[in-house]
Amino acid sequence: MTETLFLALGILLTCGLLLLRQRLWSFRAQRPADYPHGPQFDLRRHLNGPLQCEGVIYGPTGRVVSRFVADMEGRWNGNTGVLAEAFRYDSGRVQDREWRLTLGNDGGIRAEAADIAGAGQGQANGSAVMLQYRIRLPADAGGQELEVTDWMYLMENGTILNRSQFRKFGIKVAELVATMRPRAV
């Protein structure tokens, strides 16, 4: 009986430590308030006009499964904007998305797109922007609906670094890393 009790306590302690690690020291533990310093990320300014984007997508094993480049165009009218994206993947596949963004006076963000279930919610603070939403993958990519957490970090030179994690049932199934910067016209 004592061995079973110690085994159960060991399992509970291990689960508790893993949960604590995830909540305190992981990608998901970040909060917008963690980034008050550095250049101030204003979506109306930094996601405006023509942008160039390059990135990679990692699969669940941590290996690169796809590369892409994208042309983006941001247009704003006050606190509402549209970010049009045209992706070209290394497989030859092309994907277009148009985000409709609404900014609140408190830094809050509401984001909608055709392949997003409902509306995404986010927050801008200091040099970072966080956005969470549920994306519906195209049928040729499995058709699954995934939970996404996007983090964008503004660099001193105006480049934006984007890191996103995609989860299904709380398990990370993909990660995206990309750069965005103004495109020379």
Say which CATH superfamily domain 37-182 falls into: Calycin beta-barrel core domain (2.40.128.20)
Pairing of strands 94-103, 145-154: unpaired
Domain ranges of the chain: 1-30, 37-182
| Plot region of 155 (φ>0 → left; ψ -120 to 50 → alpha; else → beta) | beta
pLDDT at 44 over 80: yes
Position 100 scores a pLDDT of 97
pLDDT above 70 covers what percent of the chain? 90
Across residues 87-112, what is the average pLDDT? Answer: 94
pLDDT tens profile 68-90: 999 999 999 999 999 999 999 99
Question: How far is it, in rounded angstroms, from Cα 157 to Cα 152?
Answer: 14
pLDDT at 98 over 70: yes
22 confidence band (pLDDT: 50, 70, 90): low
Among 32, 46, 47, which Cα is nearest to 125's? 32
Strands (E), the chain: 49-58, 64-77, 80-89, 94-103, 108-112, 116-125, 128-136, 145-154, 160-168, 171-182
Please enumerate in sequence order all residues whose Cβ is within 8 A of that of 105, keeping only pairs 6 or more positions apart, or say none.
79
Max distance between CA atoms of the chain, in angstroms, equals: 74
pTM of the model: 0.82
Position 1 scores a pLDDT of 62
> Contact, 156 vs 38, CB < 8 A?
yes
Across residues 135-155, what is the average pLDDT? Answer: 88
The token duo for 179 is 């750069």
Q: Higher confidence at residue 157 or residue 16?
A: 157
The token duo for 185 is 């016209």
* AA letter at 112: E
The token duo for 54 is 């390059």
